[in-house]
């Protein structure tokens, strides 16, 4: 998902620009928030509502599935994804995800909750 959003952002900045990725934990809402912002030309406002629709694309190459699949993956994990055109230009994608259940083994070999 994030690779797709970053590649799209870089492609939107044909003449160069700035890509910003910010992450934050919202303690009050209990969610992780990831913002991916570019300084490209932005998305025409009339197309914003269609951006996550399967097979919708504004590119000459591509099949229009990247954002649709990303949307589905994020929703399947209980999250959200939104897109907007900030007043200063470019595009802003915001992904929110709830915390997941920890799985796997600890790298330090201790059992969960063991003091050092």
In a domain, 59, yes or no: yes
Q: Is the pTM of this model over 0.85?
A: no
CATH number at residue 34: 3.30.565.10
Which pLDDT tens digit goes with each residue over 32-81? 999 999 999 999 999 999 999 999 888 878 888 999 999 999 999 999 99
In a domain, 107, yes or no: no
In a domain, 65, yes or no: yes
In a domain, 40, yes or no: yes
In a domain, 73, yes or no: yes
> 68 lies in which domain range?
2-94
In a domain, 101, yes or no: no
In a domain, 76, yes or no: yes
Which pLDDT tens digit goes with each residue over 7-40? 999 999 999 999 999 999 999 999 999 999 999 9
Rounded mean pLDDT, 70-98: 96
In a domain, 109, yes or no: no
Give the count of domains, the chain: 1
- On whether the CB atoms of residues 85 and 37 are closer than 8 A, the answer is no
């Amino acid at each position: 998902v994030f690779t797709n959003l970053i590649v799209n952002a870089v492609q939107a900045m044909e003449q160069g620009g700035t890509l910003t990725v910010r992450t934050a934990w919202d303690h009050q809402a209990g969610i992780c928030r990831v913002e991916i912002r570019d300084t490209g030309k932005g998305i025409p406002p009339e197309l914003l509502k269609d951006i996550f629709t399967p097979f919708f694309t504004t590119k000459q190459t591509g099949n229009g599935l990247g954002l649709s699949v990303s949307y589905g993956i994020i929703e399947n994990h209980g999250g959200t994804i939104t897109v907007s055109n900030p007043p200063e230009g470019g595009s802003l994608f915001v992904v929110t995800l709830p915390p997941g259940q920890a799985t796997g083994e600890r790298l330090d070999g201790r059992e969960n909750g063991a003091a050092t």
